Structures are given as structure tokens and as C-alpha cells.
């Protein structure tokens, strides 16, 4: 699958999506594009990593965004959650 212009996050100019509200919630969540849906994105990566690996990497990236945009750290998920078998 190749990415088209509609598969790219619309940047509001500061690195955040134009649909991100001031309270850090998505204003189009129910109708969000596939690249915002982690289950849909995993479909692209399922041949190169396990779902668990994907969740760990996604969580690390979310942590970076939380830190960069100074979002409440309570949104962070501890990675030890994924260490359970």
C-alpha cells in the first residue's frame, strides 16, 4: 500500500495536527484517518514486527510527543505493562 496526500497528517504549522483541540483531544476521532488508528497502521507493519513490538515502539513515540508538547505525563503508559506474558 502506498501513501497518498490524504494519508499525511495535516500539520497546523507547529508539528501538531490541525484537528488537535486546545485540550489535546482529537476533534475528528470517530472519523480519523487510518494513519491515526494504531490498529490500521499495524496492518502496514505486521510483516516486520510483532504487535507487541509495535505497541512498545508506539508507546515510546507517544512518550516523546507528550514530553515535546508538555502534555500531562499522566497520559504515559509504563512500558512494564508490556512485559507481562
Domain boundaries, the chain: 1-32, 37-85
Q: What is the pLDDT of residues 15-71, one digit of tens each?
A: 778 888 888 888 999 988 887 888 888 998 999 999 999 989 988 988 998 888 887
Contacts 24+ apart (CB under 8 A), 16-23: 16/69
Distance CA 85, CA 76 (A): 21
CB 69 within 8 A of CB 16: yes
Supply the pTM of this predicted model. Answer: 0.60
Count of residues in the chain: 85
Amino acid at each position: 500500500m502506498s501513501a497518498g496526500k490524504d494519508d499525511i497528517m495535516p500539520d497546523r504549522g507547529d508539528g501538531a495536527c490541525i484537528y488537535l483541540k486546545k485540550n489535546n483531544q482529537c476533534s475528528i476521532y470517530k472519523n480519523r484517518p487510518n494513519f491515526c488508528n494504531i490498529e490500521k497502521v499495524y496492518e502496514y507493519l505486521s510483516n516486520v514486527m510483532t504487535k507487541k513490538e509495535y505497541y512498545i515502539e508506539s508507546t515510546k513515540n507517544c512518550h516523546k510527543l507528550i514530553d515535546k508538547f508538555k502534555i500531562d505525563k499522566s497520559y504515559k503508559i509504563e512500558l512494564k505493562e508490556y512485559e507481562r506474558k
